[in-house]
Structure 1
Amino acid sequence: MATSNLELPSSPLDISQFDHTPFYCEENVYLLCKKLCTSGIANAEGSDLFVVFISNEKKQVPLWHQKAGKRADGLVLWDYHAICIQRKKEGNSPHLVWDLDSSLPFPYPLAPYVSESIRPSFQLFPEFQRFFRVVHAPIFLQFFASDRRHMKDSVGNWISQPPAYEPIVAEDGTVHNLNEYMEVHAADMVTDVGVDSVNAVFTQKLGVLVSESQLEEFLSLLS
């Protein structure tokens, strides 16, 4: 499908209105979900939003059309990445991907985003296969926490400058659990994307882990 022929959904919010700190995608997506809720683009409680962490056991995940990419095709090898996917129920409206680090339109329908950014048809070595942790946004907004320790080197210097606002603390007082979201293991992947996995994504703190071949099917069941 040619992207030039896609009828993209409009948004009253420009990408520049969202907080974005380079290399802090987990905090960016946290604030993005909150803004979508308060702006009326998403449900007030975020029930139509899902945070998706993309990673693998080697912490080497290729994604295309990323603003940080040095190549013309925007290829980046992230250790992990986090995006937001919005479930659309009206008619045949596609699910939307909100990726603040992507050079593609913002937001972008799920199918072309997968085709152009994830490129499942591109043959990768096994160690580069990507896994997707899908977490319901209301649960993520309640439990996620990061004190940014992962962005300091061995002597305590910042690898990349942090956001100016205070670190995110979970509602239960937890100060850091980012590692729980970004750590993925093939053994934890669901074997069946049926009813049980759909129920789990609405109840489990860390959501459901699916492969790239399961991602679109799984998200379609959330409609």
Structure 2
Amino acid sequence: MATSSTMDVSHFHHTPFYCEENVYLLCKKLCNDGITNSEGSDLFVAFISNEKKQIPLWNQKASKRADGVILWDYHVICIQINKEGDAPLVWDLDSTLPFPSPLASYMSETIRPSFQLFADYNRLFRIVHAPIFLRCFASDRRHMKVSDGHWIEEPPPHKPIVAEDGTVHNLDEYFNISGSDAIADIKSSSVKDTVFAQKHGVVIKENQLEELFSQISLQ
């Protein structure tokens, strides 16, 4: 069941610059702690990126600016729905906003759709059902190594994540997102079916995010 109160973010694992693994462990902990439904069926993992790998997000802890804006190549968050009618919640371990935050306020404070951006900075969202993500996602952290084997950023202390089928790395399949992948008709009944069935979920534009979750929450 979704929680309406904020939680201490320090109780959750966080390794800077490894947001995909942080969210993987976040989903596991939310399940284990009874904050989410069995197997995380009310959780969705959202990869945020675009063709240029340049997405501005506000209120981020890693920013050195007063407004908290930073330009990520990609970012990963968790969105939790509540079928009781409460607003979806966003769990963002890198955000300075309340943890978790209602989706609407997260959008206005982090995505800031009213802020006019150049087309290169428009953000796209890949939405993956958490139970599928937890089974299928894998990362051996190769994206964080330079050619001589040195780390760009120090890796998490836990072992790399391996998918249930033995796959050792498919992170790029999730954060490589193109506008041509985005669904045009968000109202189509097949969109919800795809989210709940496909390994890579669905890709939508930022102005479709709240509508998608209003549909998902009603099913």
Q: Please indicate, yes or no, whether the TM-score normalized by the shorter chain is above 0.5.
A: yes
- Corresponding residue number in structure 1 for 2:24: 30
Distance 1:207 1:85 in 2: 14
Task: Give distance in 2, aligned partners of 1:126 and 1:117.
Answer: 18
DSSP 3-state at the match of 1:133: strand
Tell me, yes or no, if structure 1 residue 146 matches structure 2 residue 139.
Answer: yes
Deviation at 1:155, TM superposition (A): 1.4
Tell me which residue corresponds to 1:174. Answer: 167
Q: Deviations over 1:121-173 (max 9, x none)?
A: 10000000000000000000000000000001121110000011100000000
Measure, in 2, the Cα distance between the counterparts of 1:211 and 1:85. 16
Matches within 5 A, 1:66-145: 66-90=60-84, 92-145=85-138
2:186 aligned with 1:195, yes or no?
no
Higher helix share: 2
Q: Among the aligned pairs, what percent are the same residue?
A: 66
For each residue in 1:48-72, what CA deviation from the matched residue of structure 2 results, as whole angstroms up to 9, or x when unmatched? 0000000000000000000001100
* Structure 1 CA distance for aligned equivalents of residues 190 and 132 of structure 2: 18
In the alignment, the residues of structure 1 paired with residue 123 and residue 206 of structure 2 have an alpha-carbon distance, to the nearest angstrom, of 6
In 1: Cα distance, 2:210 partner to 2:38 partner: 25
- Find the residue that maps to 1:116 and give its secondary structure: helix
Distance (Å, rounded) in 2 between the aligned partners of 1:55 and 1:154: 24
Q: Secondary structure at the match of 1:214?
A: helix
SS in 2 for 1:213: helix
Which residue of 2 is the match for residue 9 of structure 1?
A: 4
Aligned counterpart, 2:47: 53
Moved over 2 A (4+): none
CA deviation after TM superposition for structure 1 residue 44, in Å: 1.9
Q: Secondary structure at the match of 1:164?
A: coil
The alpha carbon displacement at 1:213 in A equals 1.1
- TM-score if structure 1 supplies the norm length? 0.94
Where does the alignment leave 5 or more consecutive residues of structure 1 unmatched? 1-7
TM-score (norm 2): 0.96
